[in-house]
Amino acid sequence: MNFEDLIRELGGEVLNLGEPVKTVEQAVRASGVPRRKIVKSIVLIGKKTPLLVIVDGEAKVSFKKLKEMFGKVRMAKPEEVQKLTGYEIGSVPPVGVNIKTIVDKRVMENDYVLGGGGSIDRLIKIDPKRIVEHQKAEILDIIE
């Protein structure tokens, strides 16, 4: 199944914006959606396994909290993100990535979120509950 079919199957939609949306600021500008409804898909490297961490556009990941839960973690390098996900930084979607996924509990307060759409000029619109279901994600408090 290709990426667009997966998003449709999950009740979401792919938004082709025709301009770069690699950062939260760019996504807010292009979509008109508030930062809190934009999600960042951040790849981290742990001792045992990589993690895909999903937080909202206002949030900062707490490495202290993650260390308590998963041991020491670090940000993945661009080439590691590409190798692990098949996507470049700024386009990593919150679904369809075969990595252990953690969704911050605050993300779940939204009825929908916009996240990476697989290329730098696309976003997806999706219910965060569908992200959790599809990714078999854990919902945890992981922000500062």
Local structure of residue 33 (DSSP, 8 states): -
Nearest to 118 by CA among 94, 142, 83, 144: 94
* pLDDT tens digits, 26-40: 999 999 999 999 999
Local structure of residue 9 (DSSP, 8 states): H
- Residue carrying structure tokens 């679904």: 95
Mean pLDDT for the stretch of residues 106-123: 98
Judged against a pLDDT cut of 90, whether residue 6 lies above it is answered with yes
Domains of the chain from N-terminus onward:
3-140 (3.90.960.10)
pTM, full prediction: 0.95
Q: Give residue 69's Cα distance to chain centre.
A: 19
* pLDDT tens digits, 46-86: 988 999 999 999 999 999 999 999 999 999 999 999 999 99
